Structure 1
Amino acid sequence: MTKLFWSFPWLELFFIVFCLITLVQLFYYGWFFRRLAFYSPPPKEHSQQHPVSVIICARDEAARLVTHLPGALVQTYPSTHEVIVVNHNSQDDTRFLLDEFKKTFKGLHVVNLEYEAIGIPGKKYPLSMGIKEARHEIVLLTDADCVPASEFWLQKMQDGYRDGIEVVLGYSPYKKGPGFLNKIIRFDTFHTALQYLSYALAGYPYMGVGRNLSYKKDLFFRNKGFSALNHVPGGDDDLFINKVAKKENTAIVVDPDTFTLSEPKKTFSEWYRQKARHYTTAKYYKPLHKFLLGLYSFSHLLFYPLLVVSLFYDWRISLILFGVRFLIQGFIYNRAMRRLGEEDLFPWWWLLDIWMFGYYLIFSSTVWKRPRKAWK
């Protein structure tokens, strides 16, 4: 038995698998990710200015609201709009701060919630209350720790709506800062956006990010809100979009004026906890989405180890395959990073791509872990 094991052509097998894995990777870059890299928004026959309700949920966020909320309140938008802040049982000075803001900004609508919803963990309850209180059909969501990149965020996000569109996906990068952790966090955010925006363009929308997301109020209530997701602590953005978004009703907006900026975590442990919480919802995605995302991640994880092994079998072909993937991937990344305003990451993309091997190993266990019930 031992002799049979060692006589098996393992190197040849690993080389064949490496070739297949490389083809899988090239498929994703050629079929999915090129769509964002070469995306240009469809021409609008006529521009409309829909009434919009901006909704922000806050829990003990006074320190962030004082610096970030004005960005949503001073938007240049001539049509009817409002900003709703749902103050969910805050124990800090959030209520008093919002009362002061209301004296200056008449379009600010505050919803104070002073109790918890039993059996509904996470942010879904306050967000549902915010959507219920919204006066307008289009709701635009962001977080208390986010600030719009420009005064035209609201105007250009709502411009994504046209006939049949009920969901508009935006991009929310993290602010640039020193250190390699900042690059890792921002590359991860870019890499996630490369996937969900490209999948949406390919007709397979599977998630959105609550820091910059818009949909119609009627869509929310037609699908009974978050009722099917109440047992999951997270999922108020990605799982809801996974449920309701379709090829025909989803659009993306990636104009730099529509980005919302957030402060990245300062330590790896803080970022790990944040990412671990996000990953706990992935197991609830639709089967097709789980397959497509899983196949890509699995091929990405195996690529570099199999490359090293394959070099011992046929280094020429192995290097040719590596070179083809390297050039195509670099080209797609360059265009997509420029599209999403992450150009400064491009000189590092090859190192960050190698880092993804460790990334998948570190976060693989979080998919099965029991999520925390808090939304903050």
Structure 2
Amino acid sequence: MCWCIFAGNSGSTAMTDIYLYILLSSTGILFIYWILGWTKIGLYRKAAQTTAQPVSIIVCAHNELHNLKLLIPKLLQQDHPDFEIIIVNDRSDDGTYDFMLETKSDRIKNVTVDQVHDHINTKKYAITLGIRAAKHDVLLFTDADCMPYSDQWIQEMTNGFTDQTDFCIGVSQYTKTKGFLNRYIRYETLLTAINYSSWALAGNPYMAVGRNLAYRKSSFLEHKGFNKFQHITGGDDDLLINQFANKKNTQVVLGADALTHSIPKTGWNTYFKQKLRHFSVSKYYSTKDKALLGLQSLSNLLYWLSLIILALQTNQYEIPLAVLGFRWIILMNLNFFTSKKIGDRMNSWLVPVLDLFYVLFVTITGTIAIFTKKVKWK
């Protein structure tokens, strides 16, 4: 029927038929990804309350004095009977060392990194020292510029642990502020969270974010930590999951009480560098995960290219507009319902604009990341 509309009204050419086929095929492929996210997150039910497990919270900080002054009180207020807070001061020169000495609490343990080692990435080295200092098997990670939404954060994130569980994947959003950049950051972060949480719920964990991630010290040591990718900048979270997490040993934790939020970038240049660092790690994913992510990205790109070409080549807009409307209706509903389930509801009215910008930004940044040999943490 689709071909008939074009043939009858505009003398459809063979190339037009090909573009239409690409448009409909890419829409079908993307629909599968969207439905996976919608159903898996929609059907998610959080684990029943379990006996509180002792937990070691690990935070690595490089010149994060201001943020530590905000974060540490929030962590100390957590409603959990048995936890310690390990602050790894990674070569800070902003007064962090003196502040930590003055911060009095039996729950806090200070670890200091004084030098850089050539054989291992600086952040991975800092994390490794924090893990070695931890006295508990369950480790819960966040960043210095993050905040838990609730005083139940520790309890919620550790509820997922059973005897078979080595990894608990949480979600972290960015604080809502004014401006298009912030709206885009929150939108992109939500789409990423939909991807990694729904895939993990489907039995294929491929990444996580270190702003809200828990795993066992025993599992980390058993797999020899970051040994396989210790020289790579980034990947202390997603490469660890990509290499060692599987359907049987991984749980996902969703909900407002399990959520953390971070301070977003305020400039396009700094945000671009952050995403470049994130995307540069994905080239080390497993072949299967690179293929699945590549298919998703390629389908997005081909969708827009074929849609634009069809709109320019023919006076018949029924099919392109119908497919575009279908896409935006799905994405607006996906955005609304999944963000609600995750615990940080987002408005959907800007999705059409954010969607187009997302495809452009991810395509450009991802392509540059493939050819970038080295990026820095701090």
Is residue 2:34 matched to residue 1:29?
Answer: yes
Shift of 1:209: 0.3
Shift of 1:36: 4.3
CA distance in 1, matches of 2:146, 2:362: 27
Aligned ranges 1:328-343 → 2 under 5 Å: 328-343=330-345
User: What per-residue deviation string (whole Å, max 9, x for no partner) do you get for residues 201-247 of structure 1?
Assistant: 11110011001100011110110000001121111111011111101
Aligned ranges 1:276-291 → 2 under 5 Å: 276-291=276-291
CA distance in 1, matches of 2:128, 2:62: 15
Contact map agreement 2:239 2:285 (CA 8 A) in 1? yes
> What letter matches 1:34 in structure 2?
W
Other-structure match for 1:365: 368
Percentage of identical aligned residues: 35
Query: Residue 56 of structure 1: SS of its match in structure 2?
Result: strand
Other-structure match for 1:112: 112
User: What per-residue deviation string (whole Å, max 9, x for no partner) do you get for residues 297-356 of structure 1?
Assistant: 111122122112234455333333333333333322221121234433312112211212
Other-structure match for 1:223: 223
CA distance in 2, matches of 1:182, 1:126: 30
More displaced stretch, 223-232 vs 356-365: 356-365
More displaced stretch, 50-59 vs 310-319: 310-319
Ranges in structure 2 where 5+ consecutive residues have no aligned partner = 1-11
> What letter matches 1:85 in structure 2?
I
CA distance in 2, matches of 1:35, 1:250: 19
Aligned ranges 1:151-230 → 2 under 5 Å: 151-230=151-230
Aligned ranges 1:74-85 → 2 under 5 Å: 74-78=77-81, 80-85=82-87
User: What per-residue deviation string (whole Å, max 9, x for no partner) do you get for residues 28-66 of structure 1?
Assistant: 112x2123441332553x622111000011112112211
Contact map agreement 1:89 1:114 (CA 8 A) in 2? yes
Other-structure match for 1:55: 58
More displaced stretch, 316-325 vs 69-78: 316-325
Query: Residue 251 of structure 2: SS of its match in structure 1?
Result: strand
CA distance in 1, matches of 2:268, 2:148: 26
CA distance in 1, matches of 2:25, 2:112: 55
Shift of 1:264: 0.6
> What letter matches 1:63 in structure 2?
H
Contact map agreement 2:333 2:348 (CA 8 A) in 1? no
Other-structure match for 1:305: 305
Contact map agreement 1:120 1:231 (CA 8 A) in 2? yes
CA distance in 1, matches of 2:274, 2:46: 35
CA distance in 2, matches of 1:72, 1:249: 27
Other-structure match for 1:131: 131
Other-structure match for 2:347: 345
Query: Residue 188 of structure 1: SS of its match in structure 2?
Result: helix
Q: Tell me: CA distance 1:43–1:138, structure 2 relative to 1, closer, same or farther (3 Å).
A: closer
CA distance in 1, matches of 2:159, 2:363: 40
Query: Residue 86 of structure 2: SS of its match in structure 1?
Result: strand
Query: Residue 377 of structure 2: SS of its match in structure 1?
Result: coil
> What letter matches 1:165 in structure 2?
T
Contact map agreement 1:52 1:139 (CA 8 A) in 2? yes
Other-structure match for 1:236: 236
Contact map agreement 2:47 2:160 (CA 8 A) in 1? no
Other-structure match for 1:325: 327
Query: Residue 112 of structure 2: SS of its match in structure 1?
Result: strand
> What letter matches 1:283 in structure 2?
K
Shift of 1:91: 1.8
CA distance in 1, matches of 2:43, 2:124: 32
Other-structure match for 1:96: 98
Contact map agreement 1:35 1:201 (CA 8 A) in 2? no
Query: Residue 285 of structure 1: SS of its match in structure 2?
Result: coil
> What letter matches 1:366 in structure 2?
A
More displaced stretch, 267-276 vs 158-167: 158-167
Contact map agreement 2:254 2:343 (CA 8 A) in 1? no
Query: Residue 220 of structure 1: SS of its match in structure 2?
Result: helix
Contact map agreement 1:147 1:262 (CA 8 A) in 2? yes
RMSD: 1.8
> What letter matches 1:299 in structure 2?
S
CA distance in 2, matches of 1:324, 1:193: 22
User: What per-residue deviation string (whole Å, max 9, x for no partner) do you get for residues 273-306 of structure 1?
Assistant: 1111111100000011001111101111221221
TM-score (norm 2): 0.92
Other-structure match for 1:3: none
> What letter matches 2:72 in structure 1?
L
Contact map agreement 1:69 1:147 (CA 8 A) in 2? no
Other-structure match for 1:255: 255
Contact map agreement 2:22 2:303 (CA 8 A) in 1? no
Q: How many residues align?
A: 364
Contact map agreement 1:120 1:233 (CA 8 A) in 2? no
Other-structure match for 1:65: 68
CA distance in 1, matches of 2:185, 2:170: 18
The list of structure 1 runs, each at least 4 consecutive aligned residues, that deviate by more than 6 angstroms after superposition, is none
TM-score (norm 1): 0.92
Query: Residue 247 of structure 1: SS of its match in structure 2?
Result: coil
